[in-house]
Amino acid sequence: MMFVPLTDTESNRYGGPPLMTLTLILFNLLVFVYKPWLWVMFPGQLYRLYGSVPQFIMQEQGGGALASLTSTFLHADIFHLGGNMLFLWVFGRRVEDACGPGRYLVFYLFCGLCADLLSTLMRLEDVVPGIGASGAIAGLLGAYLILFPGGRIRALLLLGAVPTFPRIRAFWFLIYWIGMQLASAFISVYFESDYSVNYWAHLGGFFASVFVVFFLRHESFARFLSSEPV
């Protein structure tokens, strides 16, 4: 059985098209397309320089916060990129609507940095670079859960070889997702396993989403305080 979220079925309340979400997706795609050229510029060192290396951050070497930001736009392969951009589209659109494009961008970068902060704290001496937008996007998932607990998403559910497209509550999917991240993160620590997915970054971004109230529009904040649908 395979489960993939495809789109948010609810419409925007405040703004028009999600320009900032689309811009972020486009920028990530462009960086990915130009990555071979970047590899030539920085032979074998692209991820060490522009990814987030905990040891460099702790020793105050390299770009520090700048490298943390650039790392959110680097992806290892097309599946890494595709998965992240799909989640960005599904869960980012209405969060952007609730925040407005400018504040949404600041919130996205803030979640990316918080993700990197927790990831760094959990592997202080690690020299393996962390890359990918998943930490920042995990922040959007958390914000979605906070702002739209009743939201529904259209998903692809493969039952064997049969594709179905159910409309489900995002709440259940997100609870399942965060549960998996927590379990995987603790398993990776307990068994000291060498993992390729940075679960701690996901958790850092997800928990940073509680700060989303500082980035909401006036109207959406008032609705949020009044326990009305944002």
Provide the binding-site residues for other proteins, judged by CB under 8 A. Answer: 42-43, 45, 48-49, 56-68, 103, 106-107, 109-110, 113-114, 116-117, 120-121, 211, 213-216, 218, 221-223, 225-226, 228
| Rounded Cα–Cα distance for residues 9 and 225 (Å) | 24
Q: Which one, 98 or 155, has the nearer CB to other proteins?
A: 98
Q: What is the nearest approach in angstroms of other proteins to the Cβ of residue 35?
A: 17
CA distances for 111 relative to 19, 46, 134, 168, angstroms: 19, 23, 10, 26
Q: Which one, 119 or 134, has the nearer CB to other proteins?
A: 119
Q: What is the nearest approach in angstroms of other proteins to the Cβ of residue 45?
A: 5
Contact predicate 146/210, CB 8 Å: yes
Q: What is the nearest approach in angstroms of other proteins to the Cβ of residue 191?
A: 26
Token pair 């702790």: residue: 58
Q: Which one, 153 or 230, has the nearer CB to other proteins?
A: 230
Tokens encoding 78: 């097309």
Q: Which one, 83 or 100, has the nearer CB to other proteins?
A: 100
Q: What is the nearest approach in angstroms of other proteins to the Cβ of residue 32?
A: 21
| Rounded Cα–Cα distance for residues 27 and 31 (Å) | 6
| Rounded Cα–Cα distance for residues 129 and 65 (Å) | 14
Q: Which one, 169 or 223, has the nearer CB to other proteins?
A: 223
Helix (H, G, I), strand (E, B) or coil at 127: coil
Q: What is the nearest approach in angstroms of other proteins to the Cβ of residue 84?
A: 21
Token pair 């990915």: residue: 32
